[in-house]
Amino acid sequence: MKIVLQRVKESQVVVDNDVVGSIGYGYMALVGFCEDDNEDIVNRMIDKMINLRVFSDQEDKMNLSLLDIDGEVLSISQFTLYADCKKGRRPSFIQAMKPERSSPMYDYFNHQLRQVVRRVETGIFGADMKVSLLNDGPVTIILDSSEILR
C-alpha cells in the first residue's frame, strides 16, 4: 500500500464538473494498493498516517498529528502509485491491485479512516477526477507499507 500525503490548507475533487469532495485543513491523500495488501496493512497504515507529526505547533515546528489538529482528509484512489517505469517509456501497472479487489479495499480504508477522523471526503473510484489543492508548506510525505510495515 502506498499513500502520498500532502498537508493542505484546502483541497477538492471534481468529477464531470461537479465537486464531489472538499476539505479544509488536513491531508489530501493519494491511496494505492498492490496485490499483497490486506485489511491489517490498511489499519496499520491508517495508524501511521493519522499519528504522523507533520503539522505545525505554536512554535512552527512539525510536532502535531492530524488527530491533534482535528484535521480533515480528502482521500483519492490512485492506482498509478504502482507505476513501474523500469523498462521502456510506457509505465506498467502490473503491481497495482486489480479494480475488483482494490475498490472494496479503498472503501474499507475510507470506512476505517472515518472511525478516527472527523471528516473524510473522497473522490469516485475509477472516475476521471480533477484534484486541486493548496499545499501547506509545502509538505508532502510518501508512506509505503513495504518500507514501514514489512
Active site residue 122: no
Q: 146 — phi, psi (to 5°)?
A: -70, -20
Q: What is the DSSP string of 64-128?
A: E-TTTTT-EEEEEE-GGGG-B-SSSSS-B-TTBPPHHHHHHHHHHHHHHHHTTSSEEEE--TTS-
> Which of these is catalytic: 6, 12, 55, 78?
78
> Which of these is catalytic: 79, 112, 115, 122?
79
CA–CA gap between residue 27 and residue 50 (Å, rounded): 9
Active site residue 33: no
Active site residue 80: yes
Active site residues: 78-80
